[in-house]
Chains A and B, each alone.
Chain A
Amino acid sequence: MALLEVRNLSINFGGLRAVDEFNLDIEKGELYGLIGPNGAGKTTVFNLLTGVYKPTEGIITLDGKDITGHRTEEINKAGIARTFQNIRLFRLQSVIDNVKIGLQNQYHYSTISGILHTPDYRKVEKEIDERAMELLKVFGMDGQRDYLSSNLPYGAQRKLEIARAMATNPKLLLLDEPAAGMNPNETAELMETIQLIRDKFDMTILLIEHDMKLVGGICEKLTVLNFGRILTQGDTKTVLSDPEVIKAYIGE
């Protein structure tokens, strides 16, 4: 059974059917790409998968568990983490605190010990700190731990967002246009980062991207979306040479 199974997912916004009969199977460990022209409904699919929107029809199962219509934070606890097209960091907090917030649901102590700073608090906070540092090291950001996250350069902000998502210990990572607004160097670095996450954490990744070099370079399978419907699905090579796809992207 696939890690993520999506069946007949649809959503209406008033009279507009933004996503229609969307189907997707992602196996564990796959690096999957979701592409399509602007307005095709890619981000809407992400928002459906993460519970930001409730689907009108369809079923989403993660690892055999039905998560259709659950709240965003429940879906995150179930194992889906995401990044955003327009970066959404906790701007007023330091780099390490951003990651620590991602670790929120894996380390626990009561509100009272948080207020009194009991030994329990100290012990768990130390663990949180160590784990957050470990993650930052993986992303090569341990040197910037106390920087204000909004003061980081653009590429590093994107990376921090991925690190924060990884901190929630997901089974599936959704990346929404991770290379948007990046220069070629930053994109190359990002591709390395994505590969690294995959190898190091054995992570399953679904990403939306317009940068065909990135998509062709790292994705194993693709789904092409056009006007809310699936245009084609399959191996990257086959999909990218499909005349229908070229037509949708470039026109006849």
Chain B
Amino acid sequence: MRYTVHPISEKSLTVYFDQVIDEKLNDLVISSCNWLKQNPFKGFIEVVPAFASFSIFYDLVEINRQKKYSETCFQYVSKLIDQIPFADLTRNQYKGEEFIVPVRYTGKDLKWVSDFLKLPEKEIILYHTSKIYRVYMMGFLPGFAYLGGVDDRLVVPRKKTPEIDIEAGSVGLAGNQTGVYPVSSPGGWQIIGHTSFQFFDPAEPEVSVLQAGDRVRFIEMC
């Protein structure tokens, strides 16, 4: 398995695979993260999966105790990555959970999207609800999932000027991605609907709903 390792800061690094969005590659990312969590090295803090990379955060003081004098902490952790059994992990298919998210397609940009794509709103809803989306990674906001696999007919640009306040539960489109704002936030996605499905609850932040590798299906609620 080809990969390169780059430092982010002096306390974190990223392991990059080929930089493509691919389900199997993303499976390997998730399996590698799970392997590291099950086999943590001394000084390991956390591991974070992304589309085609994962990042490791570590305790420099602890790593410094473990490493040889002649190497840097970065080199020491890089060598530990070589011990991850990538070849075996490639055979793992990660099976996430599937979530059904009911949406009211009344978003304020639905008409704009319809005009831009020259598609009736009904068809936009049909295409949006007919796919099963993969959670490639979590990022941006607590509970926000990057969902891939959007129908080619629904590709729209981001807004040139981001909105200052998009309310929690807004369902958006941008590029070949779709997603739900878990908390209210500024943002530039085209809002086509709203859901009461709670991806992140500030009153119960311990409860994690989605994680990388899960699947999401949207259904229309009238």
**Is the A/B pair a real complex?**
no
Query: Which A residues form the contact surface with B (CB < 8 A)?
Result: none
Query: Which B residues form the contact surface with A (CB < 8 A)?
Result: none
